[in-house]
Structure 1
Amino acid sequence: MPAPWPCPEDFTDMASRVGGLSLDERQSLEAAARAIRDGALAPAQQRLAAALSAAPQHPEVLRLLGILHTRARQYGAAREVLGEALRQWPEDPLALTDLANAEQADGDAEAALTHWRQACERAPDYPIGWFNLGRNLQVLGHTEPAVEALERACALQPTLLPAHVLLGDALVHLGRFDEADRRYRAALALHPACGDAWRGLANMKTRPLSDEDRSRIVGMLGRADVAEADRIAMGFALGKACEDQGRYDEAFAALSEANARQRRLAPWQAGGFHTFVASVVQSSARLPVPLEPALGEEAIFIVGLPRSGSTLFEQILAAHPRVEGASELPDLGDVLVEESTRRGQPFPRWVPTATAQDWHRMGRRYLERTARWRRQRPHFTDKLPENWLYAGVLGAMLPGARVVDVRRDALEAGWSCFKQQFYRLPHFACTLTDIAAYVRDYEAALDAWRAAAPERIRTQHYEALLADPEGEIRALLAFCRLPFDAACLDFHQARRAIRTPSAAQVRQPLNRDTARAGRYGRLLDPLRLGLGRPLS
């Protein structure tokens, strides 16, 4: 049967895609697309209703409806309507991309990759298709093919700014720092105030920014036409440049200004977080006996304060031939969100009523979502720092898993957090007092959970590793039920993608000179006071 709507001659031409629709219907579609882009889902639904009423089977109408369903987390509905759109226009690269987005959000990474690749096959000269493929390969940890796709996008459209930045990020993750530097600077040639490019350069921690870089940033920050997001990112980069050059007062001033701007976007509520942590600890005090005590023995969770050395310990474990380093995975939190949605209650309110069968089901769901990280090696690391919040309930959900609680001197780690731009807002790292409050909550919770289950949770001190590398590595491997392997002592030689700001640092041998807070003297006294330390 022929398709009821003719296929566009060029699927990437938006005017061709709405052929056969009236002017009013086209305007409704455009308004719906803008509302979806802005996150206004209810208005988008209203705008889309008119087009659906007039042309309920038009593939472009169905595509937008699929995007709307995905944004509303209605993934089954999204996949259904996007599949219908593709039955009419099977060669449509945009619908293939949107279907892949829905599949990824639904936890079906393999199907998503298949459709992102098909989108590029259908439109090999469409740079956005290659950019989308590269971006999502990078998210899924396939960094080398991500580089190839992003290089293709840059070659097809040299002015595609996000492709240069993301390619720089991917090259950093592979340890190809000179190439990454060139990509970030290519982005700056297109847009000198590109905050993401300056962020990328600043995140190569072992490479100092030059005095010329500092002067360029200062000049950009003096302009009135710089977007706030770029201004914030450049402020953090300026702090790095000033510290690299020993200008500590200027570094502190730049970082304070950047953090203040960041905090104004979404203030962190330390009191509310303290109450939340207390409720998590209380609700996880009495959990049912697991149905399968070994469930999750493949998983090693590395948790703690950001910038405490978690990437370093993951690199050590990933050098072991039985361990895959998966970096920061969202799956544990996503599974708990799914359960909260199913129950109509936020975590941890439903925890006291969850049965052993419920926890077993959630544990199985997590293992299903992370199965791709065990194809080559039997164990894997999940290094999302804030997973510490779930260390208690993991005793019921994945009782066989090991939790490595990485701790670095809290003053040094807290100051390092203050210097790092975090994109998930609100974030605790925008003020020194909030950092101290967060540290207190985190340490108290982990201390309680470790005391109750020392066989599952190990506190691993960064400074202890510096003092006795082999002894600490042997103890860490024994805790993770892994035989000693000398490759873990030469962790910096392990060839793998590292998708965190520490990518440059952990590719070098251990550096015992990592203390930086002392250079700032009394400027850090609010952090010292909050941590109960002597003032300078």
Structure 2
Amino acid sequence: MARQPVSYRSGSIEAGLENGRKLLEAKPAAAALQARALLRAEPRNTAAHRLFAQAMAALGRSEDARMARARAVQFSREVPALTEAHRATLAGHPERVEALLRDHLALYPDDPVALMIDGEALARIGRAREAVRRFEAALAFMPEYVEARMQLVRVHQQYFDPAAALAALEPLLADRPGLADLHRWKASLLSNLGQHTLALESLATAAALEPANPDIRVSIGDEQRTLGAREQAEAAYRGAGASMRAWWGLAALGRRPFDGADMAAMRAMLSDAARDPELPYLHFALAVGHEQAGERSDAFRHFAAGNALKAAAEPFDAVAVEAEVARSRRLLTPALFAERGGDGCPAPDPIFIVGMPRSGSTLVEQVLASHPQIEGTAELPILPALVRIMGAEHGLAPGGSYRTLLPGLPASELTRIGEEYLRLARPHRKTDRPYFLDKLPHNWADAGFIRLILPRARIVDMRRAPMDVCWSNFRLLFARGHPASNSLGGMAAYYRSYVAMMADYDAAMPGAIHRVIYERLVDDFEPEVRRLLDHVGVPFDPACLDFHKTARPVATASSEQVRRPLNRDGIGAWRAYAAWLGPLEEAVGDLERTYAG
């Protein structure tokens, strides 16, 4: 039976806290008195403030509870173990945090600051599910803990669970409806979920709150372009004022050529922005402007300048990619797939479209999404997130290869990961069609992983001639995550590694991957579409031939091309720049002749 309230002097602080916790459920008023007694002796004791907050909440005194929680957080920030752990995270050593906080959390498992710091460190090393549990535990004690809630939104977003991130963000928006950044954050999450009309509504709210913010206008333009509203997209970009991203948005939209005034405005910005981190956007926009005017030399100069800036910020390691290809060949063998072929989640729903970016994958996506049994979604970075989480949970060292784990994973874990993929994909689906598309090009490297976790999923490898692909990647401004595109040599090496790994997969799991050659698809469209549909396992439907008439959001760089009928414009496009692409031709070598297999 719990004792009645005692002063701090009648026992240790821990005994007083234990007594207060025992009183809390049945006698919250007595627990409050115990907490007050402890605080008289030790006014900055964080555990006593938390006990008092819980007692006030149980008594319905919400404002007193809120103030006590705020004091608990304030004083927790001064605890030496917590400050040291936070410094370790900021210094880039999140792996040290768990040990630094172990004793503190063993004594005070409800300390929201300790939970938040531990969660942030866990998120940084990829242990996302544990991080979520820490943030949720912190918020269970203190729902108004803004920092913990923002970290919860971030970890859900970082590991591509935008639906969960959106749910976590809503309380922040409810409390702070006047913050434009929160509405922009919501728009970004809605866009991730394919809810572009709702994203535009959130951006409109943000624009009303910050009408002079050019970044909001650019985001509105991006969403309108995704929806195919080209006139509205152009208006939004031009309304962004002096924004380098807006100029690139106009270039990517391609609705009309830049005129002399546009080019002069961009050149003036270039001379004033020597160190602006958005300078690549301006170089690429100027390159497109020169290209529209037939000024190839100036266009190539700006493409090269923009890529050089990108390469400095995100270098490409071709040797590491080649090593991963060799590791995959050694580990993901025909024997492994023969032995583990019945493992994993048996759902047949996903169709993965993989290959090099700019290979025609958006065209194939649009063709398949025109079929009444197949739903188009987007480029879903779910597999990379699952790979990071799996590696972290198995203690994989930074830079280690997750492929070393695959042969030893039990069937139950392969099934769980496959089911987790489907759970994370579900919010992106808007229909009850039996199949859906995931068109993240770089998933080619994970085709073996797909086969192990989702053995009935279809995989389509979209392949285009290497000179066209490498040049097309070089002349397009990608967001972070595709460093090979920053140099022609890097692209050639990346393409060569891709072809080698796909050949290994063909040998290890025969028939699992259906290859579509872009040039054959363009030249012999209907037979190639029929072959594709046969592989997917759906009957032919003529709507697939009229893919450009299918109204759906397209968020990739090819959004404008797939809204036009089939054409040969992209075949041999590199030849217009042949005078500058000799080194690329040499690096590509015989692949230009043998790429189709």
Task: Report the TM-score when normalising by structure 2.
Answer: 0.77
2:506 is equivalent to residue 431 of structure 1? no
Identity of aligned residues (%): 33
Counterparts in 2 of 1:315 and 1:38: CA distance versus 1, 3 Å? farther
Q: Which moved more, 1:390-399 or 1:270-279?
A: 390-399
Q: Deviations over 1:178-204 (max 9, x none)?
A: 2222222222x1xx2x33323322222
Q: Report SS of the residue matched to 1:344.
A: coil
Shift of residue 444, structure 1, vs aligned partner: 2.1
Task: Report the TM-score when normalising by structure 1.
Answer: 0.85
Counterparts in 2 of 1:454 and 1:44: CA distance versus 1, 3 Å? closer
State which of 563, 568, 576 in structure 2 corresponds to 1:519.
576
Q: Report SS of the residue matched to 2:378.
A: coil
Counterparts in 2 of 1:534 and 1:250: CA distance versus 1, 3 Å? farther
* Alpha-carbon distance between aligned partners in 2 of 1:312 and 1:159, rounded to the nearest angstrom: 37
2:530 equivalent in structure 1: 474
2:217 equivalent in structure 1: 164
2:461 equivalent in structure 1: 405
Q: Report SS of the residue matched to 2:257.
A: coil
Q: Report SS of the residue matched to 1:208.
A: coil
1:14 equivalent in structure 2: none
2:56 is equivalent to residue 2 of structure 1? yes
- Whether the 8 Å CA contact 1:300–1:382 is kept in 2: the answer is yes
* Alpha-carbon distance between aligned partners in 2 of 1:273 and 1:144, rounded to the nearest angstrom: 39
Correspondence list, 1:99-118, <5 A? 99-105=152-158, 108-118=161-171
* Alpha-carbon distance between aligned partners in 2 of 1:239 and 1:160, rounded to the nearest angstrom: 26
- Whether the 8 Å CA contact 1:302–1:404 is kept in 2: the answer is yes
Counterparts in 2 of 1:437 and 1:216: CA distance versus 1, 3 Å? same
Correspondence list, 1:270-285, <5 A? 270-285=318-333
Amino acid aligned to 2:215: P
Correspondence list, 1:21-36, <5 A? 21=74
User: In the comparison of the two structures, how many residue pairs are matched?
Assistant: 523
* Alpha-carbon distance between aligned partners in 2 of 1:355 and 1:61, rounded to the nearest angstrom: 34
* Alpha-carbon distance between aligned partners in 1 of 2:126 and 2:450, rounded to the nearest angstrom: 25
Structure 1: gaps spanning 5 or more residues: 12-16
Counterparts in 2 of 1:186 and 1:65: CA distance versus 1, 3 Å? farther
Q: Which moved more, 1:345-354 or 1:140-149?
A: 345-354
Q: Deviations over 1:62-116 (max 9, x none)?
A: 7676555544545455445544554565467765444333344466544332232
* Alpha-carbon distance between aligned partners in 2 of 1:293 and 1:341, rounded to the nearest angstrom: 20
* Alpha-carbon distance between aligned partners in 1 of 2:341 and 2:386, rounded to the nearest angstrom: 18
2:10 equivalent in structure 1: none
* Alpha-carbon distance between aligned partners in 1 of 2:356 and 2:73, rounded to the nearest angstrom: 56
Counterparts in 2 of 1:449 and 1:93: CA distance versus 1, 3 Å? same
State which of 365, 370, 373 in structure 1 corresponds to 2:420.
365
Amino acid aligned to 2:166: L
2:311 equivalent in structure 1: 263
State which of 187, 193, 199 in structure 2 corresponds to 1:134.
187
Correspondence list, 1:135-534, <5 A? 135-187=188-240, 189=241, 192=242, 194-205=243-254, 207-227=256-276, 229-285=277-333, 286-287=335-336, 288-291=339-342, 295-345=346-396, 346-374=401-429, 376=431, 377-424=433-480, 427-514=483-570, 515-532=572-589
* Alpha-carbon distance between aligned partners in 1 of 2:267 and 2:504, rounded to the nearest angstrom: 46
- Whether the 8 Å CA contact 1:92–1:122 is kept in 2: the answer is no
Shift of residue 442, structure 1, vs aligned partner: 0.9
- Whether the 8 Å CA contact 2:247–2:282 is kept in 1: the answer is yes
* Alpha-carbon distance between aligned partners in 2 of 1:254 and 1:106, rounded to the nearest angstrom: 34
Shift of residue 18, structure 1, vs aligned partner: 8.6
Amino acid aligned to 2:360: G
Shift of residue 307, structure 1, vs aligned partner: 0.7
Structure 2: gaps spanning 5 or more residues: 1-54, 593-597
- Whether the 8 Å CA contact 1:18–1:60 is kept in 2: the answer is no
* Alpha-carbon distance between aligned partners in 1 of 2:525 and 2:97, rounded to the nearest angstrom: 56
Q: CA RMSD in A?
A: 3.9
- Whether the 8 Å CA contact 1:290–1:397 is kept in 2: the answer is no
Shift of residue 309, structure 1, vs aligned partner: 0.8
* Alpha-carbon distance between aligned partners in 1 of 2:451 and 2:268, rounded to the nearest angstrom: 53
Q: Which moved more, 1:108-117 or 1:404-413?
A: 108-117
- Whether the 8 Å CA contact 2:162–2:192 is kept in 1: the answer is no
Amino acid aligned to 2:259: S
Q: Deviations over 1:125-164 (max 9, x none)?
A: 3222211111111122222211111111111111333322
Amino acid aligned to 2:417: M
- Whether the 8 Å CA contact 2:127–2:393 is kept in 1: the answer is no
Q: From the CA coordinates, give the structure whose radius of gyration is larger.
A: 2
Amino acid aligned to 2:272: R
